[in-house]
Amino acid sequence: MARITAGVTTSHVPAIGAALDLGKSGDAYWSPVFAGYDFSKRWIAAASPDVVILVYNDHASAFSLDIVPTFALGCAERFQPADEGWGPRPVPVVEGHPELATHLAQSVIQQDFDLTVCYRMDVDHGLTVPLSLLFGQPQAWPVRVIPLPVNVVLYPPPSGRRCFELGKALRRAVESFDADLDVQVWGTGGMSHQLQGARAGLINQVWDNRWLDRLITDPEGLSRMPHIEYVREAGSEGIELVMWLIMRGALSAEVDVVHRFYHVPASNTAVGHLILEDRGPSATAGGLVS
Amino acid sequence: MALEKPYADVPGTVIFDADQARKGYHLNQFCLSLMQAPNRERFRSDERAYLDEWPMSEEQKRAVLARDWNRMIELGGNVYFLSKLFSTDGKSFQYVAAMMTGMTQEAYAQMMLNGGRSPEGQRRIGEPARDER
């Protein structure tokens, strides 16, 4: 039986990818950002998951304004890094897991989540920056990835509640897959940031850290936070945080916090990063703690 | 019935909702066309001629030519679509964010290093600023 062993959340700032791709990760500006992921690289090497269900938002790369799916799932064999206007990032092609992805799609649709199934979809920095942060710059990504893009660009995005419930449905789906796989769920984007208008550059460190606390201990309550609170407190792009609730919904109520990192700034954005290990019956005990 | 917009009183912010998306459809789709290198080349060689291939409003075309980012957003642009245009120009999200706030990129980058723009006084139009960080 497949099982969910851990959840990871991280911001997916495009400038982080650019810093890495241009060899600037050791600069004074960037090294404190990358230092927050040193532990994470050791942890992921030890955990060695078979598959990551990677929740992110497409930034007008795979989906134009012609079609805007609220939740989508990548069921293809592989996914090409997108050309976002400066050429594709020099990162490996992302290998999917079509058998598990197809099972997930069927299972969550039958649990009343009407997601869009994608057999061809380029993946942008929203998906590749988190992979770079955890795995560095390998020749090939050492894990299969099932992309799960969420619309947080065109209002209204799905509610935190809906995201949290989708996480739970994903867990049931994974646990009903008949192959021995260690699966992680990653939620990406956030934390506070605004990329438009006179209010651009908004950062709310107090709110972000309280939000992280609640994601760990009170995700059920946190999932009821209305969209407008994200906009007022965390900036118009801070709404990406609802995607972290999909990760949290996929884990058991009690989790072990093995790593927590917060840093301001990366370009326009507050960077947040958590690694949570599942305490459910199928979770592996022990391991690294930062 | 009009769309409910609880975010209408957030200062300095345009939420990309269905009304904005409808207004900005061709502007945003033009931006996406720049994801292909040959289109970037054609756009660079004659911006006006390239824009004239799109059924955009004259206002939208002028805003693009002037790289007036706030105006593009008012006219239905969304920053992630616009990012294909500023990436074509070799500019970053931080450069454009600074332009939109009317700051130099240097002053904006320093504000971010100092912890970013405080939310105090920025939650609602008319909200008094409570503290200075």
pLDDT in tens, A81-122: 999 888 899 999 999 999 999 999 999 999 999 999 999 999
A53 in Cβ contact with A183 (< 8 Å):
yes
Interface test with A, best of B29, B117, B130 (most A CBs within 10 A): B117
- pLDDT beyond 90 at B68: yes
**What pLDDT was estimated at residue A146?**
98
Is B27 within 8 Å of chain A by CB? Answer: no
Class of domain A3-278: alpha beta
The pLDDT tens digits for B70-111 are 999 999 999 999 999 999 999 999 999 999 999 999 999 999
pLDDT band at A281 (very low <50, low <70, confident <90, very high): low
Residues sharing a CB contact under 8 Å with residue A167, sequence separation 6 or more, in sequence order: A185, A245, A246, A247, A248, A249, A250, A251
**What pLDDT was estimated at residue A111?**
97
Is B23 within 8 Å of chain A by CB? Answer: no
**What pLDDT was estimated at residue B132?**
45
Whether residue B115 and residue A194 make contact (CB cut-off 8 A), yes or no, is: no
Is A236 within 8 Å of chain B by CB? Answer: yes
Q: Please name each of the domains of chain B with its CATH number.
A: 18-89 (1.10.700.10)
Terminal C-alpha separation, chain B = 42
- pLDDT beyond 60 at A284: no
- What's the mean per-residue pLDDT of chain A? 95
pLDDT band at A280 (very low <50, low <70, confident <90, very high): confident
Q: Could you list the active site residues of A?
A: 125, 193
Q: Which of A60, A64, A236 sits opposite B13 (nearest CB)?
A: A236
The pLDDT tens digits for A224-245 are 999 999 999 999 999 999 999 9
CB contacts of A85 in chain B (<8 Å) are 34-35, 40, 83-88
Terminal C-alpha separation, chain A = 29
**What pLDDT was estimated at residue B127?**
85
Is A198 within 8 Å of chain B by CB? Answer: yes
- pLDDT beyond 60 at A261: yes
Phi and psi angles of residue A271, each rounded to the nearest 5 degrees, phi first: -95, 125
Q: Which of B13, B36, B87 sits opposite A199 (nearest CB)?
A: B13
The residue-averaged pLDDT of A39-53 equals 98
pLDDT band at A288 (very low <50, low <70, confident <90, very high): low
The residue-averaged pLDDT of A248-271 equals 97
pTM of the model: 0.95
CB contacts of A192 in chain B (<8 Å) are 116
Whether residue B28 and residue A60 make contact (CB cut-off 8 A), yes or no, is: yes
The residue-averaged pLDDT of A186-211 equals 97
